[in-house]
Amino acid sequence: MTKTTFPSKKKRIVIVGGGFGGVAAAKKLAKASVEVALIDRRNYHLFQPLLYQVATAALNPSEIASPIRKIFRNSKNVHVGLGEVECVDLAQKEIFIQGESLSFDYLILAAGATHSYFGNDGWAKDAPGLKSIEDATEIRRRILLAFEAAELEEEAEARRARLTFVIIGGGPTGCELAGAIAEVARHSLPEDFRRIDTKTSRIILMDGGDRLLRGFPEECSTSALRQLESLGVEVQLQKRVTKISDDGVNCGEEFFATNNTFWAAGVKASPLGESLGVPLDRAGRVLVENDLSIPGHPHVFVIGDQAAITDPETDKAVPGVAQGAIQSGAFVGSLIRKELESLNRNQSPPARDAFFYFDKGNLATLGRYKAVADALGMKFGGFPAWFIWAAVHILFLVNFRNKVAVAWTWAWTYLRSDRNARLIIGDNTIKLKQAPKLD
């Protein structure tokens, strides 16, 4: 076992995760009189809310990702490291990365979340989720390959299964994905194929609850349902999936024949939290104190999707969305900075404040000029909600280049109904039940 060291004698803050929360915390600590080690298993910061646009060929991966080193190139006290953290030793104040240990004075865990199949992990092979660029390009491959296979398939039922897309989960990701696939089939592809009518594609959005977007007010759920149905999406509520295979989805005795199933129904926290030996909730999130530290370890914080945070003012759980991660990361970064500045002045650190979540509202897009919004005390849908959604997402992209690239790509896509990122990457093998006869 080797130990990673830094030459500086300054206090060391280790941040695990380069997502919204980790980057927000590091920015608060940048240029402070501390050493910051930001560790991630990817070398880039990913703007996850736009992953579904990569999955549906509207954007390229590089347009929603930015190298972490570039973000902090002018912050000389921030050291970026590539590696996957395996576990945390709270007693020794160390983390372990691929056989090496790294000590810390403060630790911020922001390792995020992954898919949850509710104990049915075997479904992942036939129903990929959407949490990474790899997931997005795999879903894109499957969507585009489905149309290519349908173009060649002679057997009618097999062709119909190729042109049926089932999305499981009626939250923001599921609704956005369903609406985008409908846009692809109805507007982007009809002119490109000769033997099939892509407009006849069947897009089914399933959810086990009695309405979509349960994190939104009921008026927004009703608006989302209406807008999705106007795109031709079939919304199937109160459907409990019991089996997923490569040829379809079972909901009890009901069977939906499809070769294209996508998962947007559940998440669980990074398994890194299990190494802490502290209480977790059912989703594997770490139960934290009001200051976001873990019980008994005031120098270890958990933020973002990895933490089970309750707002002390509302007594409600802080949702696992980007704004929650950004706010919690900025809060912890500021808290640590204030404490260390006090210690450097030989003063006692100030009493810690509790973290209060400021809910800026919720937005979800459903297709071109279609969206719902719950913001500033107002609930509305359609083009105004879509415009605000687009502006907010461009604003929160990390670098200027990405802002310009996404704005330009969206303008082209929505004016021309064209999606230039229609690249099938990976296995493009097509297995047909009945191949076309060649004259």
The set of catalytic residues is 176
Pair of tokens at residue 328: 């919690």
Question: Tokens 């900025």 label which residue?
Answer: 330
CB count in 10 Å sphere of residue 322: 20
- Residue pair 276/88 in contact (Cβ under 8 Å)? The answer is yes
Closest CA to 232 of 182, 187, 175: 182
For the four alpha carbons of 270, 273, 275 and 279, in that order, the dihedral sign comes to: negative
For the four alpha carbons of 22, 27, 28 and 34, in that order, the dihedral sign comes to: positive
Question: Tokens 């973000």 label which residue?
Answer: 71
218 φ/ψ sector (left φ>0, alpha ψ -120 to 50, else beta) = alpha
Gap between the Cα atoms of 233 and 178, Å rounded: 7
- Residue pair 166/258 in contact (Cβ under 8 Å)? The answer is yes
Pair of tokens at residue 156: 């009618």
Which residues contact residue 414 at a Cβ distance below 8 angstroms, ignoring those fewer than 6 apart? 368, 369
The C-alpha torsion from 217 through 378 and 413 to 142, rounded to 10°, is -10
